[in-house]
Amino acid sequence: MVTVFEALKWASSFLVENGRDENVGEIYLRHIMGMSRSQLFAEQRRSVPQEKWEEFQAGIREHAGGVPIQHIIGHEEFYGRQFVVNEHVLIPRPETEELIYYGLGKMKDLFSEKDTTLQAADVGTGSGAIGVSLKLEADRWPLDMMAVDISSEALAVARKNSERLGADIRFFEGDLLQPLIGEGVKLDILLSNPPYIPLMDRETLSDVVIEHEPELALFGGEDGYDLYKRLMDELPLVMNERFLIGFEVGVGQGETVADLLRETFRDAEVEVVHDINGKDRMVFCVRK
């Protein structure tokens, strides 16, 4: 019988040899064994049943071959909840959790709890991580939450996550804000993590990303700003007089996106916010 310690040691060595993150072994073994991180390390001498050991080895070998561990497990954790993911959606990243965190803080400053139902949208929803999390976390305000994506396959994943997690969301299929413009929607809140990777950076991406996550959700044109620029034309058509807009951006893109928002909304306050690692990862635009 292989112990937890031996399984982790094997996975770590195997992953390093194959140029992968050795910590994936811990993540996958926790999933296989149904254990928390503290349990896993407290029970290093615990035996791993033979069938689970075989399943563990197969999954680690599959990941070493380039398949994201989240696709093997079938979900990723985001803001304390498990979101189903597959090849049709971007795997939610930890930095996007900060967009929710800071967005909620700015909502508190801008909107009273006595406000009537607020109209909110997640544009380019993918797995639904932003829209579902905002709907469930913003419990002090009644939100009419909408989510838009151009991909019908992505929307199917987002719908599944919203149903699993109990978030009441209206879904729209279409390009950026066009479906909402067509419906005459007026928004109080818009949060979005649009594709922002420049095409020139394609060669620098891991094969785990480029071969298993949708390019539609990754690349934002030659310089990475295509989607932001297009949104600047559409945002004035959907935002209310008082509003909050929050974007995730690529490292080094903060000031450029901030300038785009300043040009679009000259009477609004625009702020670049740095993430926990000190990188410019979010841009917020508020009109009071």
> 181-195 burial, b for 16+ CB within 10 Å, e for fewer?
eeeebebbbbbbbbb
Rg (CA), the chain: 21
Q: What is the pLDDT of residue 191?
A: 98
Whether residue 275 contacts residue 251, with contact meaning beta carbons closer than 8 Å, is answered with no
- List Cβ neighbours of 27 (8 Å cut-off, separation of 6 or more): 69, 73
Q: What is the pLDDT of residue 207?
A: 85
Whether residue 68 contacts residue 210, with contact meaning beta carbons closer than 8 Å, is answered with no
Q: What is the pLDDT of residue 126?
A: 97
Going by C-alpha positions, the residue among 254, 251, 281 that lies closest to residue 270 is 254
Please give the torsion angle defined by the CA atoms of residues 6, 7, 13 and 15, in that order, rounded to the nearest 10 degrees: -170
DSSP state letter for 174: S
Q: What is the pLDDT of residue 9?
A: 96
Q: What is the pLDDT of residue 91?
A: 94
DSSP bridge pairs for 284: 246, 271
Q: What is the pLDDT of residue 116?
A: 79
pTM of the complete model: 0.92
Backbone phi, psi, residue 206, to 5°:
-65, 150
DSSP bridge pairs for 75: 84
Tell me how many degrees the CA angle 151-178-194 measures, rounded to the nearest 5.
55
Residues of the chain below pLDDT 50: none
